Every structure is written in C-alpha cells, then in structure tokens.
Amino acid sequence: MLSFLTLLALHSLPHILAYPQRPHRPPAGGVSLGAIGPSSSLVIANKVISPDGFNRSAVLAGASASSLSFPGPVVRGYKGDHFAMNVIDQLTDTTMLRSTSIHWHGIFQRGSAYADGPVGVTQCPITPGNSFLYDFRVPDQAGTFWYHSHYLSQYCDGLRGAFVVYDRNDPHRGLYDVDDESTILTVGDWYHGPAPSLAAIPEADSTLINGKGRFAGGPAAELAIVNVVRNKRYRFRLISISCDPNFVFSIDGHVMIIIEVDGINVQPLTVDSIQIFAGQRYSFVLNANRPIDNYWIRANPNVGKSGFAGGINSAILRYQGAPTAEPTTSRSPFDNPMIETRLSPLTNHAAPGTARVGAADVNINLDVNFLPSGIFTVNNATFTPPNVPVLLQLISGARTAQDLLPSGSVYTLPRNKVIELSIPGGSAGTPHPIHLHGHAFSVVRSAGSTTYNYNNPVKRDVVNIGDAGDNVTIRFTTDNAGPWILHCHIDWHMVLGLSVVFAEDVPAAASQDPPPAWDQLCPKFDRFPAENP
C-alpha cells in the first residue's frame, strides 16, 4: 500500500476559498441568545462544569475560550447560506481525547465531503494548537440539525450542540408564532467520568435537557426552564444529542403537532409523546393554551435511571405569570404516541425506484452481530477507522471495495442509482439508531411494522432498526458523491465497530478538491502522541 506521504503528494492542488456573505434577520420571535454562524470560530477546550450538580472536566465548544458551554452555542443560518466554521482545538486534559473533529449532522455536504467530519472517513483529527475551517454550503436544506465530535466517543464528554437552518419560506410558517433559540430543546445523557475511562458500554448518570438535570441521589440541581406566553404557538425543535439512550418525551397537559423530522417537512401529526433516538430531531408546534402554571417536561430514558423522582429526567415549562416553583402536574397515560409509520413527507412523497421489495438498482442486506469478544460486526466485518481516511484513499487512486480500507467495511455504489438497504433488528444492544451521512432516506419499512410503504414513507437520516423480527428497510438515490459512513448513533456501539462506509460515485468523489489545510490534518496527527481512546 502507498505510504501516507505518497498519497498526500498525489493530492497537491491549488485551492480557492472566497464567498460573499449577506445580512441575516432573526427568525420568528426575534430572539438571539448568543447563537453563532454562519461564519464563526468554534473553540474546543476543556472546562469543569456541573450540569447535574456533579463536577467534572468536559470537552466543550464556544465562540471563544471564555464562552464554553454545554451544549455548545447554537449554530444558525438560513437555507442557501455558505457556512465557514473555523474549529480551533485548545484541548489540554489528558484524561480525554485532545484531538477532535466536527460533524454537521444531517447536512448533505454536496461537493464538500471533506467537511463532513468523521475521522477515518473524510478527515484526520484536528490536533491541539491547530484549527480547521469547515467550509460548506447548504443550498437546499432547512430544518433542525446538530453538530458533534466525530472522533471515537468524544462527544459523550460534552462536544455537542444544536444547528438550525431557517427557511424564509417555511411552508409551516402559519402554524406558529415563535421559533428562535429559546425554542430549541436538546435532550441527552451525561456521564460523571471521562469517556476513555468508562466501561465499553457504560450507563448514563443523568439526563440533561438544555444542559441541565439531576442525578438519582444527587442534589436538587437547577433544571432547565422553558418560558412561554399563554395563547402563543411555539415551534419547538427537539434534538436528541444522546450518546446512548432513547427517550420518551412529553409535556404534561399538552399535545405536540409534529411538522418536521430530521430536516424534512412532514404532514402535521398530533401526538402526546415522542420516542426520540440518538441523533434524531423533531420540530413540533405547542399551543400554550393551558391554564397559567408550571408543567413538567419529561424525557424518560430506556436505559439508566428511569422515572422522575426528585426531578430527574425532567425540565419545566413555565407560563408567564406562573409562580417560580417546580410543577405539581402529573403525567397522563399516553393515548396518542408518535408512531413512525404515521409520519409522511409534506412533498416528494414516494420512495425512489420501483415500488416493490428488492426492486431497487442495488439491494444490500446489512446483518448486525455482537461477538463474544465484545465487538460489533456488519456482514462479518468490524469497522476500525483507517489511518488514511477513505476520502484520501479515493483521491489518491483507490477505486474498488477490495482496494479500500478498512477491508470488508467499504461498499462502492454507482452514480444515480436507487439503493435499498435492509437491516434486520435484534442484535445485542438493540434498538440501534442507524444514521447515514450525506443523505436523507425513505423508511419503507419501520421497526414494529411488517408493511412496506413505497408511496409516502417518512424521510429522515436516523432510523431505529428495532428488535428481533424487524427488518427495517430504507431507500435513497446515489446523487451525492463521497464516502458516507452509516453507523449506529449509540456512540459506544460505533466505537466497537458498528459502521460501514458507502463510497458513492467513486470517480466524482475522487475528483473533490479539499482545501490545503485538509491536506495537513493527517501529517499533523501522525506527529501527535498516541491517545488513549
């Protein structure tokens, strides 16, 4: 195999980077709470925080080293924007990973696969004392996204935040009055120890909503408060920034009208609870039409400490005029939970290709297993990030699955073809939320269903593959050249090998021209001392 320096020498091309910016106006509601973007610095550094009352050092993001936060600052822009996010690594804590990368979850990165973020697939990590400009356009997407480290399990140590792309012509605009940074809801797990020192698949210590929560047996730490004004309608953007658990999300006394799923507008659907898996996002409209009071917001995890005793797994919805007190509301039985098969896209309804099982241009079955040795396999191969990223392998001349590393984990896909993936459920650690980079896909068969729907299936980028007996099936079209990783979004499972890479439209992917700074990431990382993952 060619050495890294030889591969790098094959990729020495001039680059141009200059784009005009245009002014932005605030989204509906007009509130800007320290959001950054579309052109900003994002400093990654360590800081001791106690989001649930327990002090620990974390890996955090901020517009500067003095504004680090969990979650990180909201990155915001508008459909059609050019984003230029300069990520600066100032990490020093050796109990955690000090190199880093950022994935802009849900952004397709058309023509800019080098900005996608997964280490070993589209880049080498950014090393301490260095920076990398993630430079990409979002020409035709709008909705709710997020960003996080894509270097092993680093985002479990805190490097995660919301990313919203607003649409000036949102087709659902008439359904809500307020949509700004105050209506973003992040829910995720939190760990009291640094990720590299935890068990292979640890149990979370607490649930954090908008970066605040409590742990069982711990102090009555501050909870997140979401303020509303009676009789206004709010577009809440619910984002699972979880490393592992899925959550059943609900708000006492209120229903939610889902209008967007993973950046795709859907037909409005009224529900009283949402089961949200790691990496998924939902926009829902809440009509604040209940009596003025405080109401519990609940996010019950499937693993870890469940329930709500002492305010765990909770936040507060507070109407203007309500007392400054914790709610006394109770949760009613769920009569109308969100079921994935009831979701359908607002436009472009049909799945691509012939509406018959196995009738796509390329049909692939992905068999997930967990071995006694403690690793996952997909079709008998365990994904281990290669030292030379797949994108650099492609640019440097590798063309076939046999040539590409890691062996057995890279699939080449032809251009402009319909792909059908079937992923049986039931492996250890289920349910697995599977995320595909570079695309949204049509979920033609959902977990818990035996029906194939090619007419109006929901489109999304993270899907729960369910339990034994399920055979979740998705379709997408290969219209976006690049190496795109498909992986479990339970970060611990991804680290243990539950991933594959689709090298899509290899000739076009190989012709991409990353900026010069990208060329330097691997040599700098090669010189950096080995880290304990």
Give per-residue pLDDT as tens, 140-161. 999 999 999 999 999 999 999 9
32, pLDDT greater than 50: no
3-state helix, strand, coil in the chain (%, to 5): 10, 35, 55
Give 508: exposed, middle or buried? Use CB within 10 Å, 0-12, 13-18, 19+: middle
Give the mean model confidence (pLDDT) for residues 407-428: 98
Name which of 14-28, 137-151, 341-355, 398-412 the model is least confident about: 14-28
Residue pLDDT, tens place only, 365-378: 999 999 999 999 99
Domains and their CATH numbers in the chain: 4-171 (2.60.40.420), 175-342 (2.60.40.420), 362-510 (2.60.40.420)
**Nearest-angstrom CA–CA distance, 267 and 259:** 6
125, pLDDT greater than 60: yes
Higher-confidence residue of 459 and 30: namely 459
Give the mean model confidence (pLDDT) for residues 127-147: 99
**Nearest-angstrom CA–CA distance, 34 and 73:** 7
Tell me which DSSP letter residue 432 carries. Answer: P
**Nearest-angstrom CA–CA distance, 79 and 491:** 29
**Nearest-angstrom CA–CA distance, 273 and 336:** 7
The answer to whether 460 and 440 have CB atoms below 8 angstroms apart is yes
348, pLDDT greater than 60: yes
**Nearest-angstrom CA–CA distance, 136 and 443:** 27
**Nearest-angstrom CA–CA distance, 332 and 79:** 39
pLDDT at 34: 75
pLDDT at 205: 98
7, pLDDT greater than 70: no
- Both tokens assigned to 230: 């009676």
Can you say whether the dihedral through the CA atoms of 300, 262, 367, 487 is positive or negative?
Answer: negative
**Highest averaged pLDDT of the listed ranges 7-11, 19-23, 404-408:** 404-408
- Both tokens assigned to 12: 């020495």
Identify which of 166, 286, 162, 161 has the alpha carbon closest to the alpha carbon of residue 235: 286
8, pLDDT greater than 50: no
State pTM to two decimals: 0.94
Q: Report the run of H or E that residue 235 belongs to, with start and end.
A: strand 233-240
26, pLDDT greater than 80: no
Give 344: exposed, middle or buried? Use CB within 10 Å, 0-12, 13-18, 19+: middle
**Bond preceding residue 431 cis, omega within 30 of 0:** yes
The answer to whether 317 and 295 have CB atoms below 8 angstroms apart is yes
Q: What's the distance, Cα to Cα, between the start and end of the chain in Å?
A: 26
The answer to whether 165 and 145 have CB atoms below 8 angstroms apart is yes
Angle, CA of 485, 89 and 155, to the nearest 5°: 45
Q: Report the run of H or E that residue 394 belongs to, with start and end.
A: helix 390-395
